[in-house]
Amino acid sequence: MFTDTQGSITKRGLQAIYTSLGVDFVEALEARGVTDIHANPDGSVWIDRVGTGIIKADFSLTPANVRVAINAIAAMAGLKIDESQPQLSAIVPVTGERFQALIPPVVDAPCFSIRKPPTKIFRLDDYVSSGIMSPKYSDYLKQAVIDRKNIIVAGSTGSGKTTLLNALLAEPAFSNDRIYTIEDVKELQVNAGNLVSTFTKTASPAVTMNDLVRNALRQCPDRIIIGEVRGGEAYELLKAWNTGHEGGIASVHANGAMEALYRFEDLVGEVVASIPKQMIGRTIDVIVFIQRFGTERKVVELMEVEAFGQDMYVTKKVMS
């Protein structure tokens, strides 16, 4: 619940956002099927909608109005954005959109991307009925969750990794476990009563994903979930999954299932000189790769990871 001061800041902030961005923007944001809106430095606005993909809006925004909105969201979130700290990552209070912004000098003019929270959790059965995933893939993943396999969801930006991760988290097997999640901003939705949701903090003193993974080990979780692995926390996660906290899920940017293993090597290599390929091979059990094709998404690869031996990963493709 907001305090009177917080409530006042939030109310003024939302009014400033709606006024500065205008009716056209607000209507686009509230429209059914819209998932993301991008306001570019040149003033153009691009709308990503389920079924049609990204299209250019027939309205634009001025740099001044974009900056007003960015400042308002920073104030509501209790964060700072200026020339010395020209980027902002926040969740819009009350409405819950994920907001990412940049201002000069790292860009020519203020810009931002905003992602709406899902209004519905897609279940694995929904992926099958919509043709995104085969029934065999769905059945395999359901059993993998039950069997406490460590699962990596791989894909490019905008491929739907987080939505798929949430579909896995909606499986009943999670409901009776103690779940510990780690994110930069809140996107994960977990079907569990015993839940600890943690978030990184960039303001000094910073709290990193590495810090939160280490803290997880003191919280007695059954499963550790990371929204997106992007750095050296990959090594801490592998160690955690490999020491009695199996059944975790994480996502990673990669262009294929095998490439996800190489991506983990790169991330682990940020913090250790010698890549523990055997640890990677025995800790990661399943990789599911989702890809975007224009306006559609498709789970195109499902791969079991068995081990690392004879200078290569031993894997097996699951046939769809």
CB-hemisphere CA count at 13 Å for 136? 8
**Peptide bond just before 276 cis, omega within 30 deg:** no
What confidence tens digit (pLDDT) does each residue in 44-91 have?
Answer: 999 998 777 889 999 999 999 999 999 999 988 888 899 999 999 888
d(CA 72, CA 10): 9
d(CA 51, CA 34): 10
Tokens 């990596």 — which residue?
Answer: 152
Question: What one-letter code names the amino acid at 232?
Answer: G
What confidence tens digit (pLDDT) does each residue in 120-135 have?
Answer: 788 999 999 999 999 9
pLDDT band at 10 (very low <50, low <70, confident <90, very high): low
What confidence tens digit (pLDDT) does each residue in 34-50 have?
Answer: 989 999 999 999 999 87
**Peptide bond just before 104 cis, omega within 30 deg:** no
User: CA 106 from chain center: how many Å?
Assistant: 24
d(CA 15, CA 229): 35
State both tokens at 28: 């686009």
d(CA 33, CA 106): 32
Q: Tell me: pLDDT of 7 over 70.
A: no
- Mean pLDDT, the chain, rounded, equals 91
pLDDT at 67 (0 to 100) = 96
Q: Tell me: pLDDT of 33 over 70.
A: yes
Q: Tell me: pLDDT of 252 over 90.
A: yes
d(CA 312, CA 252): 20
CB atoms within 10 A of CB 202: 14
End-to-end CA distance of the chain, in Å? Answer: 47
pLDDT band at 180 (very low <50, low <70, confident <90, very high): very high
Domains delineated in the chain: 4-115 (3.30.450.90), 124-317 (3.40.50.300)
What confidence tens digit (pLDDT) does each residue in 276-291 have?
Answer: 999 999 999 999 999 9
Q: Tell me: pLDDT of 247 over 90.
A: yes
Q: Tell me: pLDDT of 99 over 60.
A: yes
Mean predicted confidence (pLDDT) in 94-105:
90
- Say if residues 75 and 20 touch (Cβ distance below 8 Å): no
Please name which of 87, 107, 82, 49 lies closest in space to residue 184, comparing C-alpha atoms: 87
Considering the entire predicted model, what is its pTM?
0.82
**Peptide bond just before 105 cis, omega within 30 deg:** yes
Q: Return the bridge partners of 99, or none.
A: 90, 114
